[in-house]
Structure 1
């Protein structure tokens, strides 16, 4: 299950994706002002415009034993497939992970606090998917709130609010993602955050600071890769092109890769 990374592929991507009039740096950073970023070591980078596209990370639930939980980022780093897995969640990632692992022969249980999977989708699709997952051999526990996770032998035990418990070799939480804004020091530049830690922007992806833009999951609008790419294109066209191209976030098509 370990991820496979090709050095040749990474070199190819680096050559083809890097604009000629640009430079890159991998370093911790802090904002100094609306036009200046300070890198680890003291180097300063200044620009007329700055684009924040730091994405998001899995957000683990706040409950006793959360340290035992895997996230979707951890999944492909497992040294071997577990014999059984509990997936906490009922959205895109939870459904996709459950279907994937069940297809690989893992005894899979999907535990969701809500009354149906894929909230926001059509009810007929929710029902048909629910039945398809059961036919795939996945155990589904709805209206099941996990209150704690403890180590139990070679695996783990989940306690539910209704007094029941479930056991599995590993437990994965797919309960949302949080924008990657912690530790950037954007507040020093005057950028604000909402309650979820996302960066509010206007229709042109501009923050309250005119020189700073943000796109992708860090803005928590429509968190899909193609949408983030289009938002980035639109900012480039606004700043350096000859046309305005506001991204319309209404009626964006989505796909869930389920069983």
Structure 2
């Protein structure tokens, strides 16, 4: 029994690593290029952008990502770039990119959007690899509305109230009944979706610390010397996780587990079939 559990845990880790392929590749590039960068005529950010673009093309060519998943990743890139342009403009300066780049918009190197795309790539791949199923998943229109409000708050809190905690409460209220079912080997395991998002948001927070340590971008309090990103940033990453999940749900429709479908079918049959046609 213990051996079987360890084997399943090992398989879980391997699948997670495979799902993180794009994000892991970007982090590796950041670390290596921080300590060894041999190209004198190519800015580091431009190299990172071209390397990320080539890797994305390779994933498509090898059919490790579908065209529909690539489309969602492109949407991530565009949505993230708009937010980056706002966050780095004069007067906001939420963070900054300290290096030079020829391929950039405003103060934002084009590479920046790929860091968010990595999150979208991970969710799309892990959804497929673990054959996700959900119980009590809310209606799409409510999830889309909540995702839109979270996105708008990333801009609006610089001018109005920061509704982050109110939005986190709304996320908890909308998704508190949702369980995610994931298949490691043969059978589906269950976890509260809110807990799953927290674990991934925590992982992104760790990755953010690595990226800022490599000086890919810097927060104002890191300009004179690196220090860890505050744990309070976890709330923003949690909302981003919810937003990312909702976007990916547009191509991977949330489905109920087989036993939930069977229960619903049984209830429908019991409600609409004549008594003589019902199962005893």
TM over 0.5: no
- TM-score, normalised to structure 2's length? 0.26
Structure whose residues are more often helix by fraction: 2
Q: TM-score, normalised by structure 1?
A: 0.27
